């Protein structure tokens, strides 16, 4: 029945129904229709089928499909999408910058803290270098020393130290401070002539040891102040108490040069008591609580510690009278002075407290800091990658 | 007679009113095509609206010729999108299954869904249902061609433009679709209006 005509005949019949056959094709088909009642039957059924389809009523649109400006606006609002990729990429870009920053900091910071490049590193990693010095001092002496150096350098130097102490008490360098001290010396000499002179005087008056002179010179530089103590201690150890008065004249000369010199001179005095580190620490602690309130007393104390040789200034003369008894107090007085310098006693106290335990805790904390940076770096990299992937997904 | 080319040209320059006049002129055809293709009124509405938006956004691709054919092509594409989506996320239709037609016609839900106009007789409703049912059984490509030729009364050339297929393909698909519908709709012949049946028999 229906299967007799092949697909080509179907097409011909269908086209014939629509009048889409060429005249020749139409003639051929009509000729066949005459002889084939089956084809006529199929054609008739197709005709009815088409009539059925055409008789299905047309629906009216249930509503108007006209576009509102908002709907049409979709097209225009997509234009700014050109900018979207830029902004969406900014997060990834920011993360990339963070990674780079952390990366540089991670590998640049340790080298800067190395004593060798102290001069270069000073501007950037001053706190770290200072911390190292502090840590080295911690066992022997308390922070007071740290403060001295800064007045020499100027207000800025003084400010830096306490900050450095508070920020990174971890600096683990033990022997490093020695080296650090030496580096700045050269510059310190050139910049601060008066201080140098005092240092030299101290040097000659004392044992004439070059080490000491170095220390004295270093003192003016902010970082140098701290490390000096160990050196001084080392020097002082061999020396008897007699050497102590010998140092004092140096401090006196410094006073002449600068009013602030008193503080700077004090380190020279310290070596005397530092013969017994433990004792000095005890003293330091004992004074530290009281030291903060008496800022002015602190200033006076160093003057008291000054040796009798300082005859030039009348002020010092008065102090000298007391000084003879105070030699023992010479130790605490520098502490007070040191605390005074930062002007905020709290910082000085914190420095004192940190310095003592710093020696042991320093290396461990340093390690943790590195790990934290690495972790932070990975997190940042992960976030950046995520942002980039999301960006690509959104615009794919 | 509306100058559809002038309107289309104005619409291409951003004249939304001109475009909306074209929409009003062809929205019935577009909706019916979508309705027959998707066999669902709401889906047809969505497809028609999306097609209009798409048409406005792609007005630059209209380069003269029959705007109706160009617009119906947008509708057909949206219908294909919807059909593909249905294949990915098959859902049970509220409409009755195609095997129990008698029950379906008596179903209130079915009648309500058809939303017959007051002018539609019961026979017309049954006819529409029967035709839709048979059309649904066709492959998508066959269905599109037979809808456009036999229900929208497009010529082969227009269908070729809309579907993007060569004329031979259109003819072949139309013939195959008609042959299938012939068998499917045989039981619905009595629904054919008298005058139409006579017309068919005469020829």
- A interface test, pick of B175, B181, B185 with most A CB neighbours within 10 Å: B175
Residue A180 and residue A137 in contact, taking contact as beta carbons nearer than 8 Å? no
**Which residues on A lie below 8 Å from B124 (Cβ)?**
55-57
Q: Do A67 and B19 touch (CB under 8 A)?
A: yes
Tens digits of residue pLDDT in A88-146: 677 777 888 888 888 887 777 655 444 444 444 444 445 555 555 555 554 544 445 55
From A61's Cα to the closest Cα of chain B, the distance in A is: 5
Question: For residue A374, what pLDDT is reported?
Answer: 83
Cβ burial of A225 (10 Å; 0-12, 13-18, 19+) is buried
Structure tokens at B147: 């809808």
Look over chain B and give the mean of its residue pLDDT values, rounded to a whole number.
81
Cβ burial of A32 (10 Å; 0-12, 13-18, 19+) is middle
Question: For residue A127, what pLDDT is reported?
Answer: 53
| Alpha-helix residue ranges (DSSP H) falling in chain A | 7-18, 23-35, 37-55, 69-77, 83-113, 118-137, 144-153, 155-167, 176-191, 193-205, 210-218, 225-236, 243-257, 261-269, 277-291, 295-305, 314-326, 332-340, 345-395
State the architecture of B1-91 in CATH terms.
Answer: Orthogonal Bundle (1.10)
**Which residues on A lie below 8 Å from B27 (Cβ)?**
61, 64-66
Q: Do B41 and A62 touch (CB under 8 A)?
A: yes
CB-side neighbour CA atoms (13 Å) of B179: 23
Q: How many residues does chain A have?
A: 396
Predicted confidence (pLDDT) at residue A220 exceeds the cutoff of 50: no
Residue A211 and residue A239 in contact, taking contact as beta carbons nearer than 8 Å? no
**Which residues on A lie below 8 Å from B53 (Cβ)?**
67, 71-72, 74
Q: Is A188 left (phi over 0), alpha (psi -120 to 50) or beta?
A: alpha
Q: Do B31 and A46 touch (CB under 8 A)?
A: no
Tens digits of residue pLDDT in A259-279: 444 444 444 444 444 444 444
Q: Do B192 and A51 touch (CB under 8 A)?
A: yes
Cβ density class A87-113: b for 16+ within 10 Å, e for less: ebbebbeebbebbeebeeeeeebeebb
For tokens 């030291």, what's the residue? A291
Q: Is B128 helix (H, G, I), strand (E, B) or coil?
A: helix
**Which residues on B lie below 8 Å from A52 (Cβ)?**
127, 130-131, 181, 185, 188-189, 191-192, 196
Tens digits of residue pLDDT in B87-119: 888 766 555 554 444 444 444 444 444 454 556
Structure tokens at A330: 């010479």
Structure tokens at A225: 């102040």
For tokens 């710093």, what's the residue? A358
Tens digits of residue pLDDT in A246-257: 444 444 444 444
pLDDT grade, residue B125 (50/70/90)?
Answer: confident
Q: ∠A337-A339-A345 over CA atoms, to 5°?
A: 145
pLDDT, mean of residues B64-92: 88
Question: For residue B84, what pLDDT is reported?
Answer: 92
From B136's Cα to the closest Cα of chain A, the distance in A is: 13
Q: Do B171 and A49 touch (CB under 8 A)?
A: no
Residue A263: which of A346, A150, A348 has the closest Cα? A150
Q: Do A75 and B56 touch (CB under 8 A)?
A: yes
Question: For residue A80, what pLDDT is reported?
Answer: 53
> Which of A17, A61, A71 minimises the CB distance to B27?
A61
**Which residues on A lie below 8 Å from B191 (Cβ)?**
52
Question: For residue A68, what pLDDT is reported?
Answer: 86
From B63's Cα to the closest Cα of chain A, the distance in A is: 20
Q: Alpha-carbon torsion A135, A141, A144, A147, what sign?
A: negative
Q: Report how far residue A221's alpha carbon sits from residue A185's, in angstroms, rounded to the nearest whole number.
A: 8
Domain extents for chain B? Answer: 1-91, 98-203
Residue of chain B whose Cα is closest to the Cα of A51: B196
Residue A343: which of A158, A89, A141, A182 has the closest Cα? A158
Neighbours of A146 (CB within 10 A): 33
Look over chain A and give the mean of its residue pLDDT values, rounded to a whole number.
58
Structure tokens at A381: 């990299």
Q: Report how far residue B141's alpha carbon sits from residue A348's, in angstroms, rounded to the nearest whole number.
A: 87
Residue of chain A whose Cα is closest to the Cα of B46: A65
Q: Do A57 and B124 touch (CB under 8 A)?
A: yes
Longest dimension (CA), chain A: 150
Put simply, whether A53 touches B (Cβ < 8 Å) is yes
- B interface test, pick of A43, A65, A68, A72 with most B CB neighbours within 10 Å: A65
Q: Report how far residue A240's alpha carbon sits from residue A233's, in angstroms, rounded to the nearest whole number.
A: 12
| Chains A & B: contacts with CB separation below 8 Å | 142
Put simply, whether A81 touches B (Cβ < 8 Å) is no
**Which residues on A lie below 8 Å from B26 (Cβ)?**
none
From B71's Cα to the closest Cα of chain A, the distance in A is: 13
pLDDT grade, residue A11 (50/70/90)?
Answer: confident
Q: What is the CATH number of domain B98-203?
A: 1.10.10.10
Q: pTM value?
A: 0.45
Residue, of B154 and A293, whose pLDDT is higher: B154
Predicted confidence (pLDDT) at residue A61 exceeds the cutoff of 80: yes
pLDDT, mean of residues A27-37: 90
Measured N-to-C along each axis, helices A144-153 and A155-167 cross at an angle, to the nearest 10 degrees, of 140
Put simply, whether A8 touches B (Cβ < 8 Å) is no
Residue of chain A whose Cα is closest to the Cα of B114: A59
């Amino acid at each position: 029945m229906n299967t007799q005509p092949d697909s080509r005949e179907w097409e011909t019949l269908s086209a014939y129904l629509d009048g889409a056959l060429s005249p020749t094709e139409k003639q051929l088909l009509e000729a066949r229709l005459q002889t084939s009642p089956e084809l006529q039957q199929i054609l008739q059924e197709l005709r009815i089928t088409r009539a059925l389809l055409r008789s299905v009523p047309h629906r009216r649109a249930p509503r108007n499909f006209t576009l509102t400006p908002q709907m049409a606006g979709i097209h225009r609002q997509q234009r700014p999408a050109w900018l979207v990729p830029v902004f969406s990429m900014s997060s990834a870009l920011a993360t990339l910058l963070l990674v780079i920053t952390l990366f540089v900091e991670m590998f640049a910071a340790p080298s800067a803290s190395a004593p060798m490049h102290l001069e270069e590193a000073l501007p950037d990693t001053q706190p770290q270098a200072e911390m190292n010095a502090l840590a080295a001092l911690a066992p022997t002496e308390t922070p007071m020393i740290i403060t001295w150096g800064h007045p020499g350098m100027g207000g800025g130097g003084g400010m830096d130290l306490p900050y450095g102490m508070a920020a990174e008490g971890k600096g683990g360098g033990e022997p490093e401070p020695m080296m650090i001290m030496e580096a700045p010396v050269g510059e310190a000499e050139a910049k601060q002539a008066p201080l140098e002179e005092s240092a030299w005087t101290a040097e000659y008056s004392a044992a004439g040891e070059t080490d000491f002179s170095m220390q004295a010179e270093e003192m003016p530089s902010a970082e140098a102040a701290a490390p000096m103590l160990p050196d001084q201690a080392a020097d002082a150890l061999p020396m008897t108490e007699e050497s102590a008065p010998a140092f004092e004249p140096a401090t006196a000369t410094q006073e002449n040069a600068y009013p602030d010199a008193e503080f700077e001179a004090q380190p020279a005095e310290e070596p005397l008591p530092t013969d017994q580190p433990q004792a000095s620490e005890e003293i330091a602690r004992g004074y530290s609580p009281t030291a903060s309130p008496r800022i002015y007393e602190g200033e006076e104390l160093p003057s008291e510690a000054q040796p009798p040789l300082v005859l030039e200034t009348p002020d010092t003369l008065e102090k000298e009278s007391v000084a003879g008894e105070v030699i023992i107090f010479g130790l605490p007085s520098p502490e007070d002075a040191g605390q005074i310098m930062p002007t905020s006693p709290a910082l000085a106290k914190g420095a004192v407290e940190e310095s003592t335990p710093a020696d042991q805790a320093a290396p461990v904390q340093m390690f943790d800091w590195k790990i934290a940076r690495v972790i932070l770096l990975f997190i940042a990299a992960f976030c950046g990658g995520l942002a980039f992937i999301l960006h690509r997904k959104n615009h794919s | 007679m509306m100058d559809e080319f002038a309107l289309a040209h104005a619409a291409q320059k951003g004249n939304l009113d001109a475009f909306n006049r074209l929409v009003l002129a062809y929205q019935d055809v577009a909706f019916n095509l979508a309705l027959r293709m998707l066999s669902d009124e709401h889906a047809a509405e969505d497809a028609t609206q999306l097609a209009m938006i798409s048409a406005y956004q792609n007005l630059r691709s209209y380069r003269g010729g029959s705007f109706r054919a160009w617009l119906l092509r947008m509708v057909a594409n949206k219908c294909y999108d919807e059909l593909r989506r249905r294949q990915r996320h098959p859902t049970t239709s509220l409409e009755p299954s195609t095997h129990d037609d008698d029950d379906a016609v008596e179903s209130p839900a079915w009648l309500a869904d058809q939303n017959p106009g007051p002018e539609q007789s019961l026979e017309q409703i049954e006819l529409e249902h029967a035709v839709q049912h048979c059309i649904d059984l066709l492959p998508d490509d066959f269905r599109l061609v037979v809808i456009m030729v036999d229900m929208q009364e497009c010529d082969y050339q227009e269908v070729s433009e809309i579907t993007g297929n060569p004329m031979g393909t259109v003819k072949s698909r139309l013939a195959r679709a008609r042959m299938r519908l012939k068998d499917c709709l045989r039981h619905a012949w009595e629904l054919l209006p008298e005058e139409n049946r006579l017309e068919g028999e005469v020829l």
